[in-house]
Amino acid sequence: MRPTIYKDANHKPEMAIALTDFRALCGFVTIEELKDVLATVPEILELVGYEELSKIMNDKEHDGHIEPKSFLQSIFTRLMLAKQEAVSEAVLKLKSRLNSDNKKRMLTEKEQLVLLLEKQYPGDVGVISAFFFNYVKLSPGEALYIAANEPHAYLSGECIECMATSDNVVRAGLTPKFRDVQTLCSMLTYKQGFPEILRGVTLNPFVSRYTPPFDEFEVDRCLLPPQESVVFSAVPGPSIFS
């Protein structure tokens, strides 16, 4: 997979532990939520194409049911590969519609987020694709983990980020850096559902442990009051204190 750009063969699972109120987009919404998005966000249908959407739905239907992963991959890939001119026009339409709707009703949290993203990244496909992802809000001390090949974007707040050793980052939106949309769309797992939120397991009055479901690392969080002390037991491997 483009070894001249992605030279590291290691995968890159990671975990973010919130230090302040923290916001992120992480993983794909469920098929039920996606159907609601397609029914209420006409700008997505304009980019994907009404006829193409009907064709995809018919192609992916089996025994009267949509195959979620295959359906999501087809729709998301077509959206992300839309021409920039069409994307910019769709984002402007979306912005205008939401600003108009805001005078008649309370916008959803996702719609409010989309308007905020549009101010930061006008005309970016990441503005519209935000509807495909879970909007995650963490309080200080809460954490989320992200397996390899799962989409995510950290939006606001401060966190401690821990990840496996890997140099690879594949970007496709909400960034001024190099984008590789085709590679991203082909490598994702297209797993759907809201991510698990970790709150740490209490080891003693001062230390909580965050253990994601992969072997590379875990994180201990220590909140030590003045005049108190704590002992960290040795572990069979390297440790980093910061």
pLDDT at residue 58 is higher than 70? no
State residue 66's pLDDT score. Answer: 66
State residue 79's pLDDT score. Answer: 94
State residue 166's pLDDT score. Answer: 66
Report d(CA 17, CA 214) in Å as an integer.
Answer: 16
State residue 2's pLDDT score. Answer: 54
pTM of structure: 0.87
Residue from 46, 17, 25 nearest 153 by CA: 25
pLDDT at residue 231 is higher than 90? no
Annotated catalytic residue, options 171, 199, 209, 221: 171
Residue from 222, 224, 27, 23 nearest 139 by CA: 23
pLDDT at residue 59 is higher than 90? no
For residue range 98-136, list pLDDT tens digits in order: 999 999 999 999 999 999 999 999 999 999 999 999 999
Name the fold adopted by 14-222: Phosphomannose Isomerase; domain 2 (1.10.441)
Both tokens assigned to 118: 């549009």
Domains in the chain: boundaries = 14-222
179 in catalytic set: no
- Residue 5's pLDDT band (boundaries 50, 70, 90)? low
pLDDT at residue 222 is higher than 70? yes
Q: Mean per-residue pLDDT for 174-195?
A: 86
Residue from 39, 73, 74, 43 nearest 56 by CA: 74
SS3 115: helix
State residue 155's pLDDT score. Answer: 95
